[in-house]
Amino acid sequence: MKVYGDIRSGNCYKIKLIMSLLDIQHEWIDINILKGDNLSDAFKAKNPSGKIPVLELDDGRCLSESNAIINYLAAGSVYYPTERFLHAEVLQWQFFEQYSHEPYIAVARFIAKYLGMPEERRDEFLSKQEGGHKALSLMEQKLGNNDYLVNNQLTTADIALFAYTHVADDGGFDLNQYPAIQRWIERIESQPKFYPMGSDPN
């Protein structure tokens, strides 16, 4: 099993984190999108969209989209409930992450951390703040009375949202405003086999 990605990317880090929690053996292949590694013919043969991460199974089949990958890896484990409503709740939070959270928090982080806040993208960075804080406020509301997002247990819903939330300050979002989120981050980081973002993936 191989993973193609950039460990500094939240969407790729999700994969590494769930694999660490489940002790799934794999080979990590670093893809540098700033150098265009993801645009090569060899990579596009695995994912025509040219996006990371990509999971390549031992039989050669490939799977893209980070939340689809973590759900595939977690299937049959405690991190991916099978009860119908709980399963739908996990998906609900993952859709929220992709449509209402990641487009603001991840993009602001990319502009500030990866690109070094170029002047021509400063207005775009500032435009992401309102949407990012709205997403964090909704999470804060849920986590104010719950240890985790679904059924008070750690699931791939939390893994999906943890990836960019715990480094949201890189994108200009002050997490001191969100004490319930901070406690949730601490709970996840205290998990056995927790894998910190940015560590050597191999």
- Please answer whether residues 73 and 18 qualify as being in contact, where contact means their C-beta atoms are separated by less than 8 angstroms: yes
CATH number of 2-74: 3.40.30.10
What pLDDT is recorded for position 7?
87
Q: Residue 34 corresponds to which tokens in the numbers above? A: 């700033």
pLDDT band at 202 (very low <50, low <70, confident <90, very high): low
- Residue carrying structure tokens 């050669």: 60
Burial 174-187 (b: 16+ CB within 10 A, else e): ebeebebbbebbee
> Per-residue pLDDT tens for 139-190?
999 999 999 999 999 999 999 999 999 999 999 999 999 999 999 999 999 9
CATH class of 84-189: mainly alpha
- DSSP conformational letter for 62: E
> Per-residue pLDDT tens for 113-143?
989 999 999 999 999 999 999 999 999 999 9
CA dihedral sign, ordered 198, 9, 105, 99: negative
- DSSP conformational letter for 170: G
Residue 48 has pLDDT above 70, yes or no: yes
CA distance 81 to 177: 31
Q: Residue 12 corresponds to which tokens in the numbers above? A: 């790729």
pTM metric for this prediction: 0.94
Q: How far is CA 66 from CA 15, 92, 98, 122, 145, in A?
A: 7, 15, 10, 27, 28
What pLDDT is recorded for position 34?
81
Query: What's CA 45's distance to the chain center, in Å?
Result: 24
Residue 5 has pLDDT above 90, yes or no: yes
Domain ranges across the chain? 2-74, 84-189
Residue 198 has pLDDT above 90, yes or no: no
